[in-house]
Amino acid sequence: MKIFQALAASAFLGQPLLSVAESTLVGPSALIDAAHVQVLSGRLGAGDVALTRIFLGDPSTTTAEFHAAVDGRGATFTVVEAVRAAGLLQSPPLLLGGYNPLSWTSIEGTVFSPTPVEQTAFLFNLTDGLYLPQGGAAQSFNHPGMGPAFGENGVDFNIGRLNSLFICCSPGASVADEYPNGLLNWGTSVLSTYAVQHIPEGFPGTIRDPFKQGGRDTYLYGRTEIFVVTVVPEPETYALLMAGLGALGFMVRRREQKSLSTGPLSRNQGRQRVT
């Protein structure tokens, strides 16, 4: 009770109770910085947000480890470094990723958001400043043997793609040798749902190059990070909270002062003498 009264008195007297934060990165990150957070927050359009890393993987990390860390955690940003794209070494690596407004899960299937108001996912290329909004119902793809994947069956962009869905390879090499299942070390992209409303017909494009002709890109990945998204309350929310605590604190103090001034009644106080 005394702690509550102290908080209420602090608010009532106009002293700061909680600091108001802008969009921020909570904790460490190997791939993004404060500037990247501002860019992602601006694209999200939900006001100030806090990004907290809940997963860090590398090429040896399994998809099972990914799901154990992120399933059921709500809206997330995925960021991955592509060290090789379309057969070319990337120096520095490309920073690619996507925003999923829903939780990842190990239950296999494409997640559809049928109405435009629900189509809030997007892909991004932080290296080249590209923003690719969801342009159709197919939002994301969940599979226990894959990492984060966007679009129907994960074709728009994926990390840890199943090689049974992919045909490659170098002469004499097998798919399983070059692109093993169950690891977050490779993926592909060919745009089918994302940004298609902005790209002329005949340019299937990829997350690396939306206007690419010739179809899919294949990527080899380094580190992968997943960040959970938390909306930071607006200053007006803090103001209302502080005002409410102040009013409650004032009422508590008045009640205590009234109780002290009144005091207990004596045993004979108020009795009428009977003769």
Per-residue model confidence (pLDDT) at position 16: 32
Find out whether 158 and 189 touch, Cβ atoms under 8 Å: yes
Whole-angstrom distance, CA of residue 7 vs CA of residue 255: 17
Whole-angstrom distance, CA of residue 31 vs CA of residue 221: 13
CA-CA distances (angstroms) from residue 47 to 22, 39, 56, 235?
9, 12, 26, 11
Find out whether 37 and 51 touch, Cβ atoms under 8 Å: yes
Find out whether 26 and 51 touch, Cβ atoms under 8 Å: yes
Give tens-digit pLDDT for 193-221: 998 767 766 667 899 998 887 678 999 99
Give just the sign of the alpha carbon dihedral 22, 82, 212, 114.
negative
- Residue 135 is assigned to a structural domain of this protein: yes
| Number of structural domains found in the chain | 1
Per-residue model confidence (pLDDT) at position 15: 32
Domain range for 79: 55-228
- Residue 234 is assigned to a structural domain of this protein: no
Find out whether 183 and 46 touch, Cβ atoms under 8 Å: no
- Residue 208 is assigned to a structural domain of this protein: yes
- Residue 264 is assigned to a structural domain of this protein: no
- Residue 188 is assigned to a structural domain of this protein: yes
Whole-angstrom distance, CA of residue 60 vs CA of residue 69: 15
What are the start-end ranges of the E strands in 138-200?
138-142, 149-150, 157-158, 186-189
> Is the model more confident about 256 or about 144?
144
Kindly indicate the confidence band of residue 162, based on its pLDDT and cuts at 50, 70 and 90.
Answer: confident
Per-residue model confidence (pLDDT) at position 5: 35
Q: Which residue has the tokens 């090429």?
A: 59
Name which of 10-19, 177-186, 212-221, 234-243 the model is least confident about. Answer: 10-19
Q: Which two tokens stand for residue 83?
A: 């060290």
Give tens-digit pLDDT for 236-250: 444 444 445 555 665
What's the pTM? Answer: 0.76
- Residue 116 is assigned to a structural domain of this protein: yes
What are the start-end ranges of the E strands in the chain?
24-26, 49-57, 76-85, 88-100, 109-112, 122-125, 130-133, 138-142, 149-150, 157-158, 186-189, 217-231
What is the arithmetic mean of pLDDT over 63-76?
97
Mean pLDDT of the chain: 80
- Residue 243 is assigned to a structural domain of this protein: no
> Is the model more confident about 164 or about 119?
119
What is the arithmetic mean of pLDDT over 146-160?
95
- Residue 105 is assigned to a structural domain of this protein: yes
Residue 131 phi, psi dihedral angles, 5° rounding: -125, 120
Name which of 25-34, 106-115, 176-185, 255-264 the model is least confident about. Answer: 255-264
